[in-house]
């Protein structure tokens, strides 16, 4: 399966949000990536259910919603009703992770778990078979435009080793510092979903940049 590209709307122009959504609709992007921050789990505040619900009216592709918030269980149903197609929670924010993943599935959508840069993939050993996706953060969460943490490649390799015996492995998503210079290497390492914010929305031609990310790591026949 060819990897997916999910532009991170955190880096989009919020004063021209409908136009940005339409650009993603018309591009080769596969998903919208939406970072929800509460100012407590991470030192930043972004958008919540009302904004996501409004965005959903214009979007034509799935919503990949990453909850960087404390006590995510309190809001799972609200985010699903707002339009989330995939809900990813932070491992570090979930006291009863298995129950949280079960609840997301009961709400009828896919469930993912995100790991901060300092968190080893081994913590997912006893729940990996229940996950649809694992999001490996390649920057410290909270703000866009940070530099990629090179140890991410080691975490990708370790996670793939951990899931070799599974009948169906969770998708691997990477978010943070993804650029046109490292996207191919990430895809070749086994990443299924590439999230890019500043690289897309701060480029001269965001749609073309999405296309380049989509083609990253693909061997072209001569």
Q: Active-site residues: which are they?
A: 35, 175
Q: How many CB atoms lie within 10 A of CB 100?
A: 22
- All residues at 6 or more sequence positions from 199 whose CB lies less than 8 Å from its CB, including other chains: 178, 179, 180, 209, 213
Provide the token pair at 12: 């989009």
Q: Do you know the residue count of the chain?
A: 222
Q: Is the Cβ–Cβ distance between 85 and 107 less than 8 Å?
A: no
Strand order in the sheet with 110-115: 4-7, 193-196, 171-175, 133-137, 110-115, 86-90, 63-68, 32-37
Axis crossing angle, helix 17-26 with helix 206-215, rounded to the nearest 10: 40
- All residues at 6 or more sequence positions from 137 whose CB lies less than 8 Å from its CB, including other chains: 114, 115, 116, 117, 175, 176
């Amino acid at each position: 399966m060819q990897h997916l590209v999910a532009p991170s709307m955190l880096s989009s122009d919020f004063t021209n949000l409908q136009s940005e959504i339409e650009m993603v609709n018309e591009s080769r992007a596969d998903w919208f990536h939406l970072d929800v921050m509460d100012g407590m789990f991470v030192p930043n505040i972004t958008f919540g259910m009302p904004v996501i619900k409004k965005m959903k009216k214009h979007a034509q592709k799935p919503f990949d919603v990453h909850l960087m918030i404390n006590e995510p269980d309190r809001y799972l149903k609200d985010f699903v009703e707002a339009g989330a197609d995939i809900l990813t929670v932070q491992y570090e924010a979930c006291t009863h992770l298995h129950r949280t993943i079960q609840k997301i599935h009961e709400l009828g959508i896919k469930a993912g778990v995100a790991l901060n840069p300092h968190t080893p993939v081994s913590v997912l050993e006893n729940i990996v078979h229940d996950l649809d996706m694992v999001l490996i953060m390649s920057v410290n969460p909270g703000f866009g435009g940070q530099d990629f943490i090179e140890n991410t490649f080691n975490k990708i390799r370790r996670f793939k080793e951990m899931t070799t015996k599974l009948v169906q492995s969770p998708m691997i998503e990477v978010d943070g510092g993804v650029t046109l210079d490292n996207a191919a290497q990430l895809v070749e390492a086994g990443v299924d979903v590439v999230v890019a914010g500043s690289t897309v929305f701060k480029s001269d031609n965001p749609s073309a940049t999405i296309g380049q990310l989509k083609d990253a790591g693909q061997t072209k026949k001569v």
